[in-house]
Amino acid sequence: MTGSYLRFAAMIATSTVVMFGLMYLNTYALDHVFFSETRAFAALYMGAAMAVIMLAFMLGMYANRSANVAILVGAVVVFGAALLLLRSQATVEDVAYMKAMIPHHSIAVLTSSRANITDPRVRELADKIIESQMREIAEMKALVAELEQR
C-alpha cells in the first residue's frame, strides 16, 4: 500500500516537473529560455490540481482514508500557496523578473513570426511586435548579465 502512494507522489512530482519544462516549448529561441519563478509557481498549482483530479479518478486504488485526506489537504495548500505567489509576484525581484519576461516576450516573437497573417495591417503590427520584443529581450539579457556580475 505504501508503495502505491509513493508511486502516486512520484507520478505527480514527475508530471509537475515535465509541465514546467513544457511551458518553455513555445519560446522562439533556445537562448530565450531562463528559469522563471512564475512558471515554477504555475507548474506547482497545476501539479496540485492534477493530484486532486488523479486521486479522485483512482480513489478505488487508494484505500487509506487518512492518506487520501492528507493528499487532498496538501494539494489544496500547495495550490493556494503557489497561486498566491504567482499572483502576488512577492518573491520576484529584478533578475527573476527579467528571466521570467524573456520567455514571455519570446512567445510573442514566435506567434508574430509564425502566424498565418494575410492582412498587411496585421503583418505590419506583427513585425513591429517582433522588432520591439527582440530589442527588449536583448536589453533584458544585458541587464541580467550586468546585475548577476554584482
| CA–CA separation, 52 and 58 (whole Å) | 10
Q: Is 94 exposed, middle or buried (0-12, 13-18, 19+ CB in 10 A)?
A: exposed
pLDDT, tens digit only, all 150 positions of the chain: 567 999 999 999 999 999 999 999 999 999 999 999 999 999 999 999 999 999 999 998 998 999 999 999 999 999 999 999 999 999 999 999 999 999 999 999 999 999 999 999 999 999 999 999 999 999 999 999 999 998
| CA–CA separation, 113 and 76 (whole Å) | 39
| CA–CA separation, 12 and 4 (whole Å) | 12
Strands (E), the chain: none
